[in-house]
């Protein structure tokens, strides 16, 4: 006799993305998805964590097109799937910034928001050239994760992120896609911007959507008041 498959009638939940009001449907993850998440957590690899999260969403919310969502939106969907799977409260370990004493914090996953959503993604560089930018996706992160992790300079990291945000350039009504251009050509374009034009681009990068959850705790050992800010799903791995 074949063993039964449990939870064939899985509950379906609905979630509204705060960035665009789009509604998506999802189910809680099962052991097969949770096992992949735990394995990725043990590997301590950012790439493995991202891939396991994406696989979980693809299984639990198959109608969601992850390639069309910003990294913050994907994080948001994953945390809501997690909240319906193992509970709305999650313990996250932090350490006191003063004495480094560990301190676990209970985080309500349903209270995590997305901040930094900017609908204006077109920058008029001059009278004839318009630059269209896009939000970074996890496809971008996976393809460039080694370069990003190796980058030590904050300025260089910002410029690498800016390159990932470049979508297209409209020159006298002719559309040029950055995906069709070489790194050398893209670097040449960025280096040709004046400081004012560059600042507009960097403002977009600095305000990319990200998770936001803020709280604080007082260290039991030294009484130092610690401010905590969570901005990534990896804080829960």
pLDDT given for residue 139 in this prediction: 83
Question: How much is the pLDDT for 178?
Answer: 95
Q: Contacts from 143-147 at CB under 8 Å and sequence distance 24+?
A: 145/46, 145/47, 145/50
pLDDT tens for 68-120 read: 899 999 999 999 999 999 889 988 889 999 999 999 988 899 889 898 776 78
Closest CA to 17 of 56, 53, 55, 65: 65
Distance of alpha carbon 114 from alpha carbon 210, whole angstroms: 5
Confidence of residue 142 (pLDDT cuts 50, 70, 90): confident
pLDDT tens digits, 150-193: 555 678 888 888 999 999 999 998 999 999 999 999 999 999 99
What pLDDT does 229 receive? Answer: 87
| Res 4: pLDDT | 62
Question: What pLDDT score was predicted for residue 42?
Answer: 82
% of the chain exceeding 70 in pLDDT: 90
Averaged over 216-237, what is the pLDDT? 86
**Which range has the worst mean pLDDT, 2-6, 56-60, 167-171?**
2-6
pLDDT value of residue 165: 94
pLDDT beyond 70 at 6? no
């Amino acid at each position: 006799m074949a063993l039964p498959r449990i939870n064939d009638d899985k509950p379906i939940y609905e979630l509204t993305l705060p960035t665009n009001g789009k509604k998506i449907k999802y189910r809680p993850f099962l052991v097969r998805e949770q096992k992949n998440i735990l394995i990725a957590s043990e590997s301590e690899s950012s790439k493995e964590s991202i891939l396991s999260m994406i696989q979980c969403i693809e299984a639990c919310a198959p109608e969601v097109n992850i390639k069309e969502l910003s990294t913050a939106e994907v994080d948001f969907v994953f945390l809501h799937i997690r909240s319906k799977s193992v509970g709305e409260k999650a313990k996250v370990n932090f350490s006191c910034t003063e004495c480094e004493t560990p301190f676990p914090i209970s985080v309500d996953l349903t209270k995590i928001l997305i901040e930094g959503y900017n609908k204006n993604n077109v920058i008029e560089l001059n009278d004839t050239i318009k630059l269209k930018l896009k939000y970074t996706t996890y496809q971008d992160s996976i393809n460039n994760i080694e370069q990003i992790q190796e980058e030590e300079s904050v300025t260089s990291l910002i410029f690498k992120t800016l390159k990932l945000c470049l979508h297209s350039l409209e020159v006298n009504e002719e559309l040029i896609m950055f995906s069709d251009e070489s790194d050398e050509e893209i670097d040449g374009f960025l280096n040709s911007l004046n400081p004012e034009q560059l600042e507009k681009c960097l403002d977009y990068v600095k305000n990319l959507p990200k998770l936001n959850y803020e709280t604080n705790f007082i260290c039991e050992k030294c009484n130092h008041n610690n401010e905590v800010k969570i901005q990534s799903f990896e804080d829960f791995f």
